[in-house]
Structure 1
Amino acid sequence: MRQRARTYRRRGAGIVAVTLATLSAAVLTACDSSSQQGGRPGSASSRPTPSPSPTPPWDRTPRSLAAVGDSITRGFDACSLFTDCPEVSWATGTDTRVNSLALRLLGPAGAAARSWNHARSGADVADLPAQMALAAAHKPELVTVMVGANDACADTMERMTPVETFRASFEASMSRLRKDAPKAQVYVSSVPDLKRLWSTGRADPVGSQIWKLGICASMLGEAEDDSLSAQQRRDAVRQRIVAYNEVLEDVCAEDDRCRYDGGAVFDYRFSGQQLSRWDWFHPSRDGQERLAEIAYRNVTAAKPPAGRPAGQADGGAR
């Protein structure tokens, strides 16, 4: 019996020793895990959490550029009457006085080899998807967009592009670019304030005569008419442009690689020196230079410009 008791005591001691060793190892493992994860064993803070997908950073030094849009980007009426002058384009021009966005970003050699202008005089937003396809074929690192003036510049107010149609065309343009050039960045310029251009050019006898040829009749037609109906017409055209700019801002905001100018071009007060001396409507060389400055400042800024809250645009010139 004594021998059997001694045997049980030895077995019991062994079991206790193994149990203590197991518990010690478990405690050490838990402490080690806690120290590595910065939290207590079993706490919620010790559990790893997935990191959110990072937003692609904006490249402030793109190495190629394609431009789409209308006559402003083609430099229309900046060099001679009723003629495109792409060498003074704010986006891709080679004129050193204008110092286009392409020249500022790429230098003369880079601008000549790696910038393309697919804008077309007379184009409206319905033409933009096809232009985007041409631009995307180059696989540019940056695409500039300036469109919408011709959508507001109709023969009559009723023929202005409806806002929802404008949105659909711009969304289709962005989709086409993303399909063919998914990594391209996009800089979107706001539509200029055409009412301010009317206010600036209406006093010039040459400009007012040129306008009678049919340039932007919805805004510039009967430029000297100050009747209530004429004022209401101009205000309605201006509000349509404000709505277009809201669309450009909204659609751009849905794309991680798109930057809207915050209404900078719409807000810019073009003087007579910055308007074409042939039509007092399109930018002159000086006006193209101002557009290039605005674009370069916004493209190279660390953060995108803050946009004007919807519906808060000022009343414009009268």
Structure 2
Amino acid sequence: MREHAPRRRARGAGATLTAVAMAGALALTGCTASGGDGAVRSASGSPSPSPSPTPAWDASPASVAAVGDSVTRGFDACSVLADCPEVSWATGTDDGVRSLAVRLLGAAKASSHSWNHAVSGARMAQLPEQMALAAKERPELVTVMIGANDACRDSVGLMTPVADFRASFEASVRRLRAAAPKAQLYVSSVPDLKRLWSTGRENPLGKQIWKLGICRSMLGDADDMGAAAVARRDTVLARVVAYNEVLREVCAGDELCRDDGGAVFDYRFTGEQLSEWDWFHPGRNGQARLAEIAYRNVTAAGPPA
């Protein structure tokens, strides 16, 4: 606390009482004052520690590891009911997609300095194990896209509770920090499953594939517009929104984490971007759009507003 010189010299008992009162206020509030050497000192006279600087975000990391679910594995992007990691938005090598790793590292280096530990069908509860594997690679950047399978269950009652989702994501971040404390973390939002239903239901073949059991909580009885079906889909959407809020909040608590600001959730996928086999997962075009979103956010001067 810095004191300004009074305009007139204080006189008599009043000045003494004023000085005593100010000293008491300093002792009670723990205000700091500057010592003669310029150091900031507490009321006890001991130097106060300087705040640690916030680490700067590196917009050009030299290696990338990916964790998540079927989207990051390129499921149904190349053939029916099969992974196709070469077209993954995060670490793929396909020239048409130009994955995040390719855009950051170049095609030649991406193949040797990127790793895909995502697993099709994975839910948030499996992410800590994936994160531990990714951390072993000592990557400079880890990408996360997960949560759709936590909402895509056989019924809304089986969806992962939000509290459990949060606990598993927090555990995942702790796993990363324990093994790779300097790794940056990029977190994608969960896609808008209701919008994918609305777009995909226009394709008769896609709806036949949905009947095999893909995301029944949202895609079951795709043409049913009754009150119960509408309420079911709205419940799934609300859970996805809650998951995205968890991802944002947990990421905000880690100084080396950046989320996408809801960009993937907000992206309006069309039939051109969806798999020609299931009209739900991203196809090559959709994977390329996801790579664009990620690259834009990772290389931006600051996090999304």
Deviations 1:77-106 (A, max 9, x none): 000000100000000000011000000000
Amino acid corresponding to residue 53 of structure 2 in structure 1: P
What is the CA–CA distance in structure 2 between the aligned matches of 1:174 and 1:267, rounded to whole Å? 25
Counterpart in 2 of 1:89? 88
- Name the Cα RMSD after superposition: 1.1
What is the CA–CA distance in structure 2 between the aligned matches of 1:284 and 1:203, rounded to whole Å? 16
Counterpart in 2 of 1:281? 280
The yes-or-no answer on 1:61 pairing with 2:60 is: yes
**2:112 is paired with a residue of what secondary structure?**
helix
What is the CA–CA distance in structure 1 between the aligned matches of 2:262 and 2:228, rounded to whole Å? 28
Counterpart in 1 of 2:3? none
Amino acid corresponding to residue 224 of structure 2 in structure 1: D
Percent identical pairs in the alignment equals 71
Higher helix proportion = 1
**1:113 is paired with a residue of what secondary structure?**
coil
Counterpart in 1 of 2:144? 145
Counterpart in 1 of 2:13? none
Counterpart in 1 of 2:250? 251
**2:268 is paired with a residue of what secondary structure?**
coil
Counterpart in 2 of 1:161? 160
- Structure 2 stretches lacking a partner, 5+ long: 1-32, 41-48
Alignment partner for residue 48 of structure 1, among 30, 36, 39? 39
Aligned pairs for 1:77-116 within 5 A: 77-116=76-115
What is the CA–CA distance in structure 2 between the aligned matches of 1:132 and 1:44, rounded to whole Å? 46
What is the CA–CA distance in structure 2 between the aligned matches of 1:194 and 1:269, rounded to whole Å? 11
Moved over 6 A (4+): none
Counterpart in 2 of 1:235? 234
**1:237 is paired with a residue of what secondary structure?**
helix
- Structure 1 stretches lacking a partner, 5+ long: 1-42, 307-318
Counterpart in 1 of 2:221? 222
What is the CA–CA distance in structure 1 between the aligned matches of 2:70 and 2:58, rounded to whole Å? 27
What is the CA–CA distance in structure 1 between the aligned matches of 2:241 and 2:215, rounded to whole Å? 17
- How much does 1:44 deviate? 4.6
Aligned pairs for 1:30-45 within 5 A: 44=34
- Structure whose alpha-carbon radius of gyration is higher: 1
TM-score, scaled to structure 2: 0.85
Deviations 1:20-52 (A, max 9, x none): xxxxxxxxxxxxxxxxxxxxxxx9586323542
What is the CA–CA distance in structure 2 between the aligned matches of 1:177 and 1:274, rounded to whole Å? 32
What is the CA–CA distance in structure 2 between the aligned matches of 1:139 and 1:68, rounded to whole Å? 14
Amino acid corresponding to residue 291 of structure 1 in structure 2: L
What is the CA–CA distance in structure 1 between the aligned matches of 2:226 and 2:183, rounded to whole Å? 48
What is the CA–CA distance in structure 2 between the aligned matches of 1:205 and 1:60, rounded to whole Å? 43
Query: Size of the alignment, in residue pairs?
Result: 264
- How much does 1:209 deviate? 1.1
TM-score, scaled to structure 1: 0.82
The yes-or-no answer on 1:75 pairing with 2:36 is: no
